[in-house]
Chain A
Amino acid sequence: MTSLFNGLLVIVLVMNLFALGTSRIHALIRIVASQGVLLGIILLLVHRHLTIPAFAVAMAGIAIKGFLIPAIMLRALRQAEIKREIEPLISPLASIMLGAIATAFAILFSGQLPLVDQNDGALLVPTAIATVLVGFIILTTRFKALTQVVGYLVLENGIFVFGMLLIEAMPLVVEMGVLLDLFVGVFVISIIVNHINRAFSSLDTRRLLLLKE
């Protein structure tokens, strides 16, 4: 069980690095979508006694993160008529290196944490921390409004992984609330993307500097 579980988590980590390495926004959205689906599956596996509400939440997570949000974002991408992140702050290769360092740091750091034995040996905590860090890296090094959204999605995925630790303690309502927030956030940003594009003739969030006093 643990090895299957860890295997899936390693896939999540690899997806992180993929997300950092690609410069095509289309591919980026796809990767994050599949990461969401994978996390939903892990959630199903983590439950020892699967209840109907838990199942419903996992399914809703898969549906929203794996299909609904990517669909909205791809539509916004089509309307904005852009394909790649043209000038990221650092090159994709450097991003991957940075992501690898972040992952190593996360593994080292979680080794220091005083964890319950039950979670020892599992990659759950390192994956959560690494995913959060990668989300941050995407947020700080990419400038297109849509890639920013992807950064937030990755960040949220990391928190979602962390939430699995507390699966017994955290009520499902919280999980649902987070999903709803995420959905509404992406929905709103995807609409705004169009307006940014029209007002600034670009999706570069650095142009928003003009709004500074």
Chain B
Amino acid sequence: MSATWNILAAIVVLGLSGLPAYLLPARSETGQRVATAAMVAGSLLGLCGVAGGVGGAIPSVAGAAWGLPYGRFSVAIDAVSAVFLALVFVVPALGSIYGLGYWGHAQHRGTGRRLGLFYGLLAGSMALVLIARDGVLFLIAWEAMAMAAYFAASVEEDDPAVRRAGWVYLIATHAGTLCLIAMFALWRQATGSFALEPAPAMAAGLASAIFVLALFGFGFKAGLMPLHVWLPGAHSAAPSHVSAVMSGVMLKMGVYGIVRMTALLPVGPPWWGGTLLVAGAITGLAGIAFAIGQHDLKRLLAYSSIENIGIIAMGLGLAVLGRALGRPEWVLLGLGGALLHTINHGLFKPLLFLGAGAVIHCVHTRELDRLGGLARRMPAVTGLFVIGSVAICALPPLNGFASEWLIYLGLFRTVGLGGEPGFAPAAVAAVVLAMIGAMAVACFAKLIGTVFLGSARSDASQHGHDPTATMMGPMIVLAFGCVCLGLFPSIAIAPLEDASRTWAALAESTPISLAAVAPLGWISAAGLGLVAVVATFALISRITPRAGAVAEAGTWDCGYARPDRRMQYTGSSLGATLVDLFGLVVWPRNHQPAIHGLFPGSATFKSVVADTVLDRLVLPFFRAAGRYMSMFRVFQQAQMQSYVLYVLTIVIVLMVWGTMGAEP
């Protein structure tokens, strides 16, 4: 009980953390410090609650009737909530500290307090989403979260691009909420109440309808393709620490929703898991393909988030499939991998967004082809960014590897090991996962190569410098988390196993454990060995005297006499091969000039990678709808007489209709 109260108190503190700043002048740094202190204190309080809840007797429940017509105030934490709560109570607080340097109230007089207010609300409402055990309370928290994210992400509303991204987000999130409202309505019809308790039995068709609605409703938030339309724009428009929270934590609320609903619904048919697997595979592949084609630092990271959501969905699909077919080891590996990847992505993606923020903070551009050569000027940020990139590429010895490895192990088991029957189509997902991993390496090689290596492509990127301690600290903490979970993934094994058992409602006596099916100790050994080998080589190369002095010279410049610093491989040229390979999905547009004669005049080349779903499908549809709907404007003449005529027409029609109905 006390754990729940701790978390409720934490939610209140987080949610109201931005208010005290309004008592102080807009430029006051004190207000911002108070808000950050409240964020940190609330998060610590919440973490105590999570730790108490996991250690103590869970699930702990608190409930009370309220004055609203439907539902009741009912909250509880269990092992599944605890995994996600841990993220909510870590990342936003770190982001808030980062914000002290990145979005100081003195520099952002007009927006600082507003951002602080909605940032705190976002964190508080996300925690409430995770503990709500009533459909109505859940929807209220969900909507509060969506709106807080909207206001936090669109603080720079002077910029038309930000406004546009905000609109797209607003429409997408409400489309998702609409699905959720329908889902809870069906849920009430099926179970008789809005309470989110495991439903023992319901008609198969109804359960499937609820599952599909959940997939759409939560898919909008999580960013499953093709419901991801809002994600790249909103993430690139938001301030970097807000992007970090949105990508690292808020997307996971969509994942949580799917996890929660699949746990509450009775065991479904195998196609549920199959659908999740396919959706995850498509999301992962298309997400990383789009990421490679991006020219904008934060858009690239946003697409990479979509890819990671795809990986999580694949793990989740495996678990749902395992539950349908009665395979506890698939459930453990699939859900364990998905949840661990959720945590991992919640560490390295904020790290990358904060690193990108540090770059943007001093260079003032997000365009990859204007950056370059920052490794020399921002060595610390570069190091942290590389750690995050290695982790997100799922390379050992960092944490991305551990979670993807669990999913791999699970997918391999679907082939049917040792005579037990398998489900071979699911094993194809392992191949897709491998492809995604390889492309992620290509994507981040391009990113680091363009941003940090080479030489500066513009004057602005010559002025880079490592940021202040308030901005470095949170990044160091996140990187430390990546390394820890990468080298010692076994520290996460107990909560993951608890969560998986809770989710699948496995009996205590089921003789299977995550530690047995996934020997994570080997990862630690291999990781430490790898670190040792690399360190040894580094040491050897450091102490071995070099043969001759290092000379600096230009690279081969194709015989051109006066090379310029813009004459480097651009981001788009590095990714061109892979983008063309996926041209069918990514649909890149190259505007290249036709060059004639021996001495052609000046010409320009431009390549555009638009979002296929948003820019080629959704927006044209909306534009066409706007055009045809404007035909109805003739009815809005602003003339009294015509309006009265409408009333008269309707009255007469109703009278005639009524007369016909009255005749016996």
Seen from chain A, the residues whose Cβ lies within 8 Å of a Cβ on chain B are 89, 105, 109, 112-114, 129, 133, 136-137, 139-143, 148, 151, 205-206, 208-209, 211-212
Contacts and interface: CB of A to CB of B under 8 A. Distances in A.
A206 B639 contact: yes
Contact of B663 (A112, A143, A205): A112
Contacts of B637: 209
Contacts of A212: 638
B641 to A, nearest CB: 5
Size category of the B interface is 10 to 19
Contacts of B655: 109, 129
A139 B644 contact: yes
A105 to B, nearest CB: 8
A114 B642 CA distance: 32
Nearest to B661: A112
A205 B648 CA distance: 19
Contacts, number: 45
Nearest to B637: A209
B662 A112 contact: yes
B445 to A, nearest CB: 53
B540 interface: no
B663 A148 contact: no
A212 B639 CA distance: 9
A98 to B, nearest CB: 11
Which 3 interchain pairs have the tightest Cβ spacing?
A212-B638, A136-B648, A139-B644
B641 A141 contact: yes
A206 B640 CA distance: 8
A109 B638 contact: no
A139 B659 contact: no
B663 A139 contact: no
Given A113-B662, A133-B648, A139 B641 contact: yes
Contacts of A112: 659, 662-663
Given A109-B655, A112-B659, A112-B663, A143 B644 contact: no
Among A133, A136, A151, residue most surrounded by chain B Cβ atoms (within 10 Å): A136
A136 B659 contact: no
Contacts of A211: 638
B645 A140 contact: yes
Interface of B: 637-642, 644-645, 647-648, 651-652, 655-656, 659, 662-663
B638 A205 contact: no
Contacts of A206: 639
Contact of B638 (A113, A139, A148, A208): A208
18 contacts: A89-B641, A109-B655, A112-B663, A129-B655, A133-B648, A133-B652, A136-B645, A136-B648, A139-B640, A139-B641, A139-B648, A140-B648, A148-B640, A205-B639, A206-B639, A208-B640, A209-B637, A212-B638
A171 B219 CA distance: 57
A51 B168 CA distance: 66
Contacts of A114: 662
A122 B662 CA distance: 20
Contacts of A133: 648, 652
B641 A109 contact: no
A205 B640 contact: yes
A136 B639 CA distance: 14
Nearest to A206: B639
Contact of A140 (B638, B644, B659): B644
A5 B644 CA distance: 31
A29 B663 CA distance: 40
Contacts of B642: 140
A143 B638 contact: no
Query: Which of A133, A139, A141 is packed against the most chain B CB atoms within 10 Å?
Result: A139
A206 to B, nearest CB: 6
A179 to B, nearest CB: 22
Contacts of B648: 133, 136-137, 139-140
A29 B639 CA distance: 23
A88 to B, nearest CB: 11
A205 B641 CA distance: 9
A90 to B, nearest CB: 12
Contacts of A129: 655
Given A139-B640, A139-B648, 18 more contacts: A105-B652, A109-B659, A112-B659, A112-B663, A113-B662, A133-B652, A136-B645, A136-B647, A136-B651, A140-B648, A141-B641, A151-B644, A205-B641, A208-B639, A209-B638, A209-B639, A211-B638, A212-B638
A137 B651 CA distance: 13
A158 to B, nearest CB: 11
A142 B644 CA distance: 11
Q: Which of A89, A133, A142 has the most CB of B within 10 A?
A: A133
B38 to A, nearest CB: 44
A114 B656 CA distance: 14
A140 B662 contact: no
Contacts of B651: 136
B487 to A, nearest CB: 64
Nearest to B646: A140
B642, B647, B652, B655 — most chain A CB neighbours (10 Å) = B655
B185 to A, nearest CB: 37
